[in-house]
Amino acid sequence: MVKAICSFEDCRGTIATASKTRTISLPNTVFEKFQLLERREKSAQSQEKHDFLIVEDVWDFDNIGVSRNIRPENDDDPRIEITDENLDEVVTFEHNGNTWTIEKCTRYLICAECDKGPIGIVCQVKNDKGEEKVVYLLSLSSLQLV
Ligand SMILES: [Zn+2]
């Protein structure tokens, strides 16, 4: 069993259990658009794809923080939220035999222990049958896998 933990040495808080069947790949543009935290030990080479753990129930996390703010470190306007304007290309992914399109991302995921992040995003997704749901996309490139 692989655990995804906070990459900061003074924290190492457990975030979630990683699983291959729940791992999806998203283009690097998503990672960069939302300025997701990059694991320190990672090589400087930029990747085309980033692995994300797709979580449908917040209780499936061991520990997670959810932020409303577009920039958690900026207190000037805590009401700012991520809007669909932030994603200016159509991003789709395969999961459970469906193709899902990211409609909009509304919140950031942060470490519940040390508040560092963002380590993921909360997004509304829609499949080709028109079904919509909210999913938690945890960036595995932002975390340590142990
Ligand atoms: Zn942490």
What radius of gyration, in Å, describes the C-alpha atoms of the chain? 14
Q: Is 141 helix (H, G, I), strand (E, B) or coil?
A: helix
CATH at residue 20: 2.170.150
In degrees and rounded to multiples of 5, residue 99 shows phi and psi of -100, 120
Residue (of 26, 52, 58) closest to 140 by Cα position? 52
Cα atoms found within 13 Å of the Cα of residue 122, Cβ hemisphere only: 18
- pLDDT at residue 73 in the model: 47
Residue 141 Cα to ligand 1 midpoint, Å, equals 14
> Using one digit for the tens of pLDDT, what is the confidence trace for 17-36?
999 999 999 999 899 888 89
Tally of domains in the chain: 1
> Using one digit for the tens of pLDDT, what is the confidence trace for 55-66?
999 999 999 999
pLDDT at residue 125 is higher than 90: yes
pLDDT at residue 70 is higher than 70: no
Range(s) of the domain holding residue 56: 2-145
Residue 112 Cα to ligand 1 midpoint, Å, equals 7
- pLDDT at residue 68 in the model: 67
Residue 138 Cα to ligand 1 midpoint, Å, equals 14
Specify the pTM. 0.86
